[in-house]
Structure 1
Amino acid sequence: MMTTILAFAILCATTLLVLRNLRTVAHDTYEAVASAAVRLRHSSKPGAKLAFLTLWVLIFGLSYFL
């Protein structure tokens, strides 16, 4: 029971921190995605890197939404 309460408190605190700094988080995310897109465009193996990116998005998406 105590572990559940602690986990829920950490989840709530993290969510509040992200929502409080949502503009900064969105700007940093945009910069990271734009930079990754430029590097992907100029790399020699875009298919492999795109597959690796898709894998990570899938892992984080499923862990967050399930």
Structure 2
Amino acid sequence: MMTTILALLILTATTLLVLGNLRMVAHDTYEALSSAASRIRQSGNPRAKLAFAALWVLIFALSYLL
């Protein structure tokens, strides 16, 4: 019970911090994605890297939705 409450408090605090700095998070995400896209275009195997990125997006999406 105590672990669940602590986990929920940490999740709530983290969500509030992200939402409080949403403009900076969006800017940093855009910069990271644009640099990653340019590196993927320059490298040789874009499918493997896109599959790996899709895996991480799926992990993060499921952690917030479930």
TM above 0.5, yes or no, is yes
Partners of 2:64 and 2:27 in 1: how far apart? 21
Identical counterparts, % of pairs: 74
- The one-letter amino acid paired with 1:25 is V
Unaligned runs of 5+ in 1: none
1:14-56 alpha-carbon deviations (Å, 9 max, x no partner) = 1111111111101000000000010011111111111211222
Aligned residue pair count: 66
Q: For residue 20 of structure 1, what is the aligned residue in structure 2?
A: 20
> What's the secondary structure of 2:43's corresponding residue?
coil
Q: For residue 45 of structure 1, what is the aligned residue in structure 2?
A: 45
Q: For residue 62 of structure 2, what is the aligned residue in structure 1?
A: 62
Partners of 1:59 and 1:23 in 2: how far apart? 23
Unaligned runs of 5+ in 2: none
- The one-letter amino acid paired with 1:17 is L
Matched, 1:8 2:8: yes
Give the TM-score taking structure 1 as reference length.
Answer: 0.86
Partners of 1:63 and 1:11 in 2: how far apart? 10
Deviation at 1:64, TM superposition (A): 2.3
RMSD: 1.2
Runs of 4+ in 1 over 4 A off after TM superposition: none
